[in-house]
Amino acid sequence: MSDNNEIVLIRLREAIEAATGRQMRTPKDFSFLSERIFDKLHEHISPTTLKRLWGYLHDTSSTPRPSTLDLLAQFIDYPDFDTFATTVATSVNTTFVPTTSPGDTTSPTEAASSDESPAPANNPSPAKPFFKRHSALFIPLAVLLLLVLLAIPFLIRGLRKPPHILRQGSTFATYDDYMQLFGLHSDETHTHFVRLPEHNYICLWAPQYHHPTWHNDGNPDSLMPTIAEYFSPSDPNDSSDAAACRQKNKEYYQQIMQETDVRLVFMKDLFDSTFIYLGVYHVSYDLSDTTRVVWYRVDNDVDLNNLDYLRRHRF
């Protein structure tokens, strides 16, 4: 690939990252970009292809297809890749235009000493610089500014509530025992899945370990670093029930792929009949498919007085 083409691809990657507000650094980033492209253009570019384009996968034997480059250019609102490349080439080849006309050979020194220069006025005593005239004010102002800067961290800490940490492994006997930490109570609409009123993207989720039909599988020895959930028929020999479960799994997968929920998981019956807090979870785009949805732990403990920081786990 020529240097010019490489420059165009670099500019294309930079423009896409600027448009999404996200740098492509991890497999989750490339899955995210693949989904955003499909949402906007209804065309699919696989995360693997995107990884090659960004150099995340080092595959020198393959070059991007023209159709793939056209889709990426359309994602940032260009009609095709050639138009984007022309725009980049134009910006790279723009030259500096001097403000002095070509025929003007007079140097600044000569202009200053020309006969048309105005005669200097009488030479009054030069004014003292501002900082010398007001030097007596600078020291107290500097001290005051320093005190303000030192006080800001203490003021911020005073405005924030002290941390109230929910620790991984904490156990609760009932729904109400952990819901009251969030100012909630269980009722007909508040049971195993609840959205927090002031943080609608945060859900309290209380799945039952190894539920007979709605499975929640994982490794209990390490407190479930991933949780796979899926429907299965109560009777494996019932073909109609099996078909209905496949449809439910597909619909659930499609629903979850549209959401950006963060779940605080309180699993029931993992070791005994209590609820145990496992941590903060987000859906895995790489491990999930139409047969199951897989959640993975992104954080352990959580500060109940400052939940806004969980927003960083949404994507």
User: What percent of the chain has a predicted confidence (pLDDT) above 90?
Assistant: 51
CB 84 within 8 A of CB 92: no
Query: Helix 3-20 and helix 66-75: axis angle, to 10°?
Result: 40
Q: Which residue has the higher pLDDT, 211 or 282?
A: 282
Close Cβ partners of 208 (under 8 Å, ≥ 6 residues apart): 192, 214, 216, 267, 268, 269
* Per-residue buried b or exposed e for 185-217, using 16+ beta carbons within 10 Å of the residue's own CB: ebeeeeeeebebeeeeebbbbbbebeeeeebbb
224: left (phi over 0), alpha (psi -120 to 50) or beta: left
Tell whether the model's pLDDT for residue 130 goes beyond 60: no
* Residue 132 banded pLDDT, cuts 50, 70, 90: low
pLDDT tens profile 218-250: 888 889 999 999 988 888 788 888 899 999 999
Tell whether the model's pLDDT for residue 205 goes beyond 80: yes
* Residue 188 banded pLDDT, cuts 50, 70, 90: low
Domain ranges of the chain: 3-93, 165-313
* Residue 173 banded pLDDT, cuts 50, 70, 90: very high
What's the angle, vertex CA 189, arms to CA 188 and CA 191, rounded to 5? 80
pLDDT tens profile 138-155: 778 888 888 888 878 766
CB 263 within 8 A of CB 295: yes
Q: How far apart are CA 27 and CA 45, in angstroms?
A: 14
Tell whether the model's pLDDT for residue 3 goes beyond 90: no
The first and second tokens of residue 287, run together, are 């491990």
Q: Which residue has the higher pLDDT, 124 or 277?
A: 277
Q: How far apart are CA 57 and CA 42, in angstroms?
A: 25
The first and second tokens of residue 80, run together, are 């095709």
The first and second tokens of residue 170, run together, are 């904490």
The first and second tokens of residue 74, run together, are 């359309």
pLDDT of residue 92: 62
pLDDT tens profile 253-270: 999 988 889 999 999 999
Look at the block and give the residue holding tokens 């009123």.
197
Pick from 63, 46, 45: nearest CA to 2: 63
Q: What is the mean pLDDT of the chain?
A: 83
The torsion angles phi and psi of 228, rounded to 5 degrees, stand at: -100, 125
CA 238 to chain centre: 44
pLDDT of residue 143: 86
Pick from 258, 259, 252, 253: nearest CA to 200: 259
CATH code for 165-313? 2.30.280
Relative to beta strand 199-205, strand 214-217 is unpaired
The first and second tokens of residue 45, run together, are 């570019």
pTM above 0.85, yes or no: no
